[in-house]
Amino acid sequence: MINLEIPRKFNALVRQAQEVAGEVLRPISRKYDRAEHARPVELDMLAAVIDGMNEGNSEVGGTGATGVRRDANAGADGVNRNGTNLSTALSIMELCWGDVGMLLSMPRQGLGNSAIASVANEEQLARFKGRWAAMAITEPGCGSDSAAIRTTARLEGDHYVLNGEKIYVTAGDRADLVVVWATLDKSLGRAAIKSFVVEKGTPGFELVRLEHKLGIRASDTAAFVLTDCRVPKANLLGDPDINPEKSFAGVMQTFDNTRPLVAAMAVGLTRACIEEMGRILKEAGLSPDYNRPLHRQSAAASEFVRMQADYEAARLLTMQAAWMADNAQPNSLQASLAKAKAGRTCVDVALKCVELAGSVGYTENALLEKWSRDAKILDIFEGTQQIQLLIIARRLLGKSSAELK
């Protein structure tokens, strides 16, 4: 039985995340939105505190987006487990109430860390422990279709030689490592896609530019070119053999872990918008009456109630997907449901709040303007809205990717 309330053992973690969001992230949010590409140095000490929390309590984890790992034996005994997937999602919700870009700028809390945690072996987990990892999937000719990756990896002795180009790499400039997706054999399609950990400074791995963006400006977004970049064999994550039955699925497991986390980011930002809009409505003397039909209330109050309902749906779907991962239940469908619902809700709510707030929401005097820009990326990265709907359709209809494109 799923209990979608916050588990009591996570209450302290959630309170800590709330304090960080309110006392550290929110106050410097606008500063780094204006100073794009400037590194938020205030986060360095916070990252050290989170590292200490992770060391002291590995079950609950810290307050960042550090990698989460499935327990293959979870659920076998019928015991309900609330573990690192759920705790991380809950803390991310709070931190993104503070600022999404700041969360993505937090040292050693990158999405690449989730990729390593999902599929790395024990030796790799130990070797890459404590290092900040970005994740490089998207290419100029390959966006939502991850199976169309053209970056190549060729085995030469004890190294793989990587060639290709990667764009839109979150935290690519500041991270220590970049998890690069590449194909061992283009002719074999998705089965040959593997992920490789590339250390910054590796010859042939060149940062070519930092992107100027609509939102999440505190976070750096990089583009790389790999030219005969030699990566040790030991840096390949997962099984090096090409298995058409399961090879790509092993790589895609990363998304089953990270999509609920991105959904959690959207949930946190949605809550920030709704709370600010509630304050504005209250100052204007408009408070929704939850005991009256919506058509008998003001348009603003009706819209506010609808936004709250969508927020609750997104929050519960996100918690369900994370809970399933903690209990070793296949959650590909639920992860995409959460990502699709939370991402779209975040965009819709942020824009509606700007509309309802009028001039107050359109100026830099309030954060609603910034949040409306930050929201859009949450409906795009880790799989666009359209890709999530396609995955959901495949799961519900029992169709393969070849049958339903």
Mean pLDDT, the chain cut into blocks of 10 residues (405 residues total) = 75 93 96 95 82 52 50 64 90 96 89 85 93 94 81 97 97 96 89 93 97 96 98 93 66 79 97 97 92 93 96 96 92 96 98 95 93 97 92 94 86
User: What pLDDT score was predicted for residue 57?
Assistant: 46
Instruction: Catalytic residue, from 94, 139, 165, 382: name it.
Output: 382
Q: CA 231, CA 378: separation in Å to the nearest integer?
A: 31
Where do the domains of the chain lie?
8-127, 133-237, 247-397
Residue 59 pLDDT: 41
Rounded to a whole number, what is the distance in angstroms from the first to the last CA of the chain?
Answer: 35
Query: Please, which residues have CB within 8 angstroms of residue 298's CB and are 6 or more apart in sequence?
Result: 286
Residue 51: per-residue pLDDT: 67
pLDDT of amino acid 257: 83
Q: Residue ranges of the alpha helices (H) in 70-202?
A: 84-98, 100-104, 111-119, 122-127
382 is catalytic: yes
**186 within 8 A of 195, measured Cβ to Cβ:** no
What CA–CA distance (Å, rounded) separates 363 from 359?
7
The amino acid that residue 401 corresponds to is S
Q: Which residues pair with 236 in a beta bridge?
A: 196
Q: Which residue, among 183, 152, 187, 180, has the nearest Cα to 166 in the 3D structure?
A: 180
247-397 CATH pick, 1.20.1440.230, 2.30.130.10, 2.40.30.20, 1.20.140.10:
1.20.140.10
The pLDDT of residue 48: 74
What is the predicted pLDDT for the residue at 63?
43
Which residues have CB under 8 Å from 114's CB, separation 6+? 65, 66, 67, 68, 135, 254, 257, 258, 261
Per CATH, the homologous superfamily of domain 8-127 is: Acyl-CoA dehydrogenase/oxidase, N-terminal domain (1.10.540.10)
Tell which CATH classification among 3.40.50.10320, 1.10.3720.10, 2.40.110.10, 3.40.50.970 matches the domain 133-237: 2.40.110.10
Query: What pLDDT score was predicted for residue 52?
Result: 63
Those residues whose C-beta lies under 8 Å from the C-beta of residue 202, and which sit 6 or more positions away, are: 229, 230, 231
Residue 401: which region, alpha, beta or left (left: phi > 0; alpha: psi -120 to 50)? alpha
